[in-house]
Chains A and B, each alone.
Chain A
Amino acid sequence: MYQYALQDQRIVDQRVAQFRDQTCRYLEGKITEQQFLPLRLQNGLYVQRLAPMLRIAIPYGMLSSRQLRKLAEISRNYDKGYTHVSTRQNMQINWPALEDVPDILEELASVQMHAIQTSGNCIRNTTTDPYAGVAADELEDPRPWCEIIRQWSTLHPEFAFLPRKFKIAVCGSESDRAAIHSHDIGLELIKHPQDGRIGFKVLAGGGLGRTPVIGSVICEWLEKRHLLSYLESIMRVYNQHGRRDNKYKARIKILVKAMGVDAFRQQVEAEWARLKDGPTTLTEEEVEGYTRYFTAPDYQNLDAGLAERQLDEQCAADSSFDNWVQRNTRPHRVPGYRIVNLSLKATGYAPGDINDHQMDSLANLASQYSFGEIRTTHEQNLVLADVQQRDLLPLWQALKPLGLATPNIGYLSDLICCPGGDYCSLANAKSIPVAEAIQARFAELDYLYDLGPLDLNISGCMNACGHHHIGHIGVLGVDKKGEEFYQVSIGGNQGKDASIGKILGPSFKQDDMPEIIEKILKTYLGLRLEEETFLDTCRRTGLEPFKQNVYA
């Protein structure tokens, strides 16, 4: 993974000093609330319902064991001993004291971490595929590009006061595991249709929130070396023309819609005509310099057949291990290795939360079994990307008592859920209790497996941090005259064939939610043909049969 050079370290250290001075002046009353707001936000600090919340950047989801140990230590010393994995691969602590934040940032900087631009109207953390570099269906590792974008966007002087927040995601594989269609900019590494050279397809104007939009293609194929000048051109059009009079209409998706994709593209191309071939043009050597940080780790040359036979024997001897291997691990491109997903969706725990003991233990397991690296996913889980097949059994045995071996990856109870009204001051409704009630109702694993892959996404408000629009089933908390209700949509999807879910009808009370979900699932089971997934069935039948059963 990327290692800081002196210059990178200097930048984060100076950022800490800058924010320490700003916090000091704020506490002395020399900076107004309004002036301090963008400063603290761009250092990840929200003021929430009960306490401040600090969002720590996990660039494109990559963490070292050392960094995870530091997060455990910070959560113990400055917070309540747990952190939360966000839907943009970052990690949040919910109870820091404002005065402590500069010290926390200094602790983070000591392990090459920061909270820069994890909030505010600026370019946020770039996200990507948690299986980057190891996925069998990968065309090119997106992480060097994410790091190039991270450096370009970090403290970019021109784009720190945009009309609204700005999110970029990169996908380098056949399946999109980074939800690039619902980002302000989505980048997809693809082959040129004629000569096969790899470049970027550039999408813009995707987004969730109040007005969900699937991104539009604004460049079919962009030469890699022009990536930064092209991004800069998009940013410049957005910075100058994005709406600033209404925060609900300020995202780039509204600008692209208002101008029309073609007119927007023309503006970008006009900017680009001046910026192209400028100093940000990347050379092959420079890209190579970044790529070197993401080369394959020191894999052993393993006898794949032997590893397979041994694993089969172990699985045959223990059905519960067998089940975990089936549900939570994925094929690796190197023979004898597997990708291991760790579910943070055990029933009874807030989705995406992990405590300090789990973090410390996991850091050790990662060092022992997966080259000392851990990844966060936008589904709020964790990944050990490089585990030898013969280590799966001892790893599983170690994960079980930690509560990190719930075999539900990709199934209903592996739901995405924002912190909601329990923590967030923006929320209209609680989301965690709804998630827990649904998880408790559908705890029977065989039933979940029979349902097949199912994304259930819950957001506590329109801002859609729980990505409800792109869940196969989406749940949105709404406020009706002071009471919390939940609106349900179905048919959303996050892949390359992304779609926005359609709302079933009038919203429901919190207590009724497990029942409603059950009716939807029963409808699906009654309608599905052979191997049809929930999404396939929705797409085939449309809303009507679901509506009829739910509102019967």
Chain B
Amino acid sequence: MRVKLIRDGRVVEDDWDGPLLSLEKLNAGVSGDGLGLVLQPGESPQQIGVELSRLSLVAIHFPVLTDGRGFSYARELRERGFRGEIRATGEFTRDQLFYLKRCGFNAFQLADESQLEESLANLEDFSEVYQASIEQPEPLFRRR
């Protein structure tokens, strides 16, 4: 059975077949494109030693729901032009989906798969936001 997750606003089966490399393995030298990477807290995107265009998937792991470093990592990846999948994994909850999405995550592998369907609604918790962010590059003060 494949793992289920939310990707681009829909519940889908995970079709990622490749390995998810640790930052250390990636930086030790890997050939080819379409790579998968998993970042742990403390591993900033600034430490990624290969061209971001060689990566297809970056999973950002949340060992506990209160460790918010991953929010900055995703935003930084997008700001640096990464266009592949950014996936949240670990102990984050559906109540964080809206913020995660705004920071540039587009895939969410919730620890509890049974919550996936009803969690879709949390992606739309708010219809208006103040800040510039990855999915809304203009702050509200410019859109008023």
Interface residues of A (CB under 8 A from B): 5, 7, 10-11, 14-15, 18, 22, 31, 34-35, 38-39, 121, 148, 151-152, 154-162, 228, 236, 239-240, 244, 274, 278-280, 282, 286, 289-290
Contacts and interface: CB of A to CB of B under 8 A. Distances in A.
B142 A279 contact: yes
B93 A35 contact: yes
Which of A228, A240, A280: most chain B CB closer than 10 A?
A: A240
10 contacts: A11-B128, A14-B125, A148-B141, A151-B130, A155-B126, A158-B99, A160-B99, A244-B69, A279-B137, A280-B139
Given A282-B141, A290-B141, 9 more contacts: A14-B125, A14-B128, A38-B66, A151-B141, A152-B139, A155-B130, A157-B129, A158-B133, A161-B68
A96 B141 CA distance: 35
Contact of B95 (A39, A236, A240, A274): A39
Interface in B64-86: 65-69, 71-73, 75-76, 79
Contacts of B127: 10, 14
A155 B142 contact: no
Contact of A7 (B98, B99, B132, B144): B144
A289 B132 CA distance: 18
Nearest to B41: A244
B72 A162 contact: no
A4 to B, nearest CB: 11
B22 interface: no
Contacts of A159: 68, 71
Contacts of A286: 141-142
Contacts of A240: 44, 69, 72-73
Interface residues of B, number: 37
Contacts of B142: 279, 286
B103 interface: yes
Contacts of A152: 130-131, 139
A34 B64 CA distance: 10
Nearest to A35: B93
A155 B103 CA distance: 12
B130 A38 contact: no
A274 B45 CA distance: 14
Contacts of A154: 130
Given A154-B130, A279-B138, A5 B144 contact: yes
A7 B129 CA distance: 8
Which of B96, B103, B141: most chain A CB closer than 10 A?
A: B141
B102 interface: yes
Interface pairs A-B: 10 shortest CB-CB: A161-B68, A157-B102, A157-B99, A279-B132, A151-B130, A158-B71, A7-B128, A10-B128, A14-B126, A239-B72
A35 B129 contact: no
B144 A162 contact: no
Contacts of B68: 121, 158-162, 239
A400 B139 CA distance: 47
Nearest to A244: B67
Contacts of B72: 158, 236, 239-240
A239 B138 CA distance: 23
Nearest to A163: B68
Contacts of B48: none
Which of B44, B98, B103, B132: most chain A CB closer than 10 A?
A: B132
Nearest to B75: A158
A453 B110 CA distance: 57
B140 interface: yes
Contacts of B128: 7, 10-11, 14
Contacts of B66: 38, 121, 161
Nearest to A238: B72
A143 to B, nearest CB: 15
Contacts of A18: 95, 125-126
A158 B140 CA distance: 16
Contacts of A31: 93, 95
A109 to B, nearest CB: 14
A293 B143 CA distance: 18
A22 B95 contact: yes
Contacts of A160: 68, 71, 96, 99
Contact of A280 (B69, B73, B131, B144): B131
A14 B73 CA distance: 27
A286 to B, nearest CB: 5
Given A240-B44, A279-B137, A289-B144, A35 B95 contact: yes
A151 B142 CA distance: 12
B140 A280 contact: no
A11 B126 contact: yes
B96 to A, nearest CB: 8
B141 A155 contact: no
A121 to B, nearest CB: 7
Contacts of A290: 141
A228 B139 CA distance: 11
Contacts of B95: 18, 22, 31, 35, 39
Interface in B101-144: 102-103, 125-133, 137-142, 144
Interface in B12-56: 41, 44
Contacts of B71: 157-161, 239
Contact of A239 (B65, B69, B100, B125): B69
Contacts of B126: 10-11, 14-15, 18, 155
B67 A161 contact: yes
Nearest to A162: B68
Nearest to A10: B128
Contacts of B65: 34-35, 38, 161
Given A7-B144, A279-B137, A155 B129 contact: yes
Contact of B129 (A11, A34, A39, A162): A11
A157 B66 CA distance: 13
A239 B93 CA distance: 19
